Amino acid sequence: MTNYIDPSRANFDAFKALPRDEPIHMLNLLLYRNEAEYPEGHEHHGNGWSGRRAYEEYGKTSGPIFRRVGGSIVWRGAFQCMVTGPDDRRWHDGFVAQYPNSGAFFEMIKDPEYQKAVINRTAALVDSRLVRFAPGEEGEGF
């Protein structure tokens, strides 16, 4: 099984080619490491944090930047079971982040403080998915 933490160049280029001036939703699926893996010399290296604890640190350190660019969480949940999909695939948590536009997302990831904070995300996760959606209209039908 292939694990994904960061986007491939091709996937990120596809993301950048989409319209930048409309709201976006980003589905995040997270699978935490048992023990966070920080690089040698990082202030949290060897502190014994779980992946979940390292992701909480990511949220704490990146949250102010996320909110400053206009981001918000529109849905959050804890994984229970795979209904359609591979039986061996599971996630710990999932959430949907909303941004006013992809420019706000780019502003966030280019921020020097965010770039320091994202080390916590990398240390925390053994696998993840990040999927961009255009927000749809709410309603009773599918």
The whole-model pTM stands at: 0.92
Instruction: Give the contacts of 106 (CB within 8 A, at least 6 positions apart).
Output: 20
CATH number, span 22-133 = 3.30.70.100
Cα pseudo-dihedral 131, 28, 41, 50, rounded to 10:
-150
> What's the confidence (pLDDT) of residue 87?
83
Helices (H) and strands (E) in the chain, counts: 4, 4
Examine the pLDDT at 31 and tell me if it is beyond 90: yes
> What's the confidence (pLDDT) of residue 50?
98
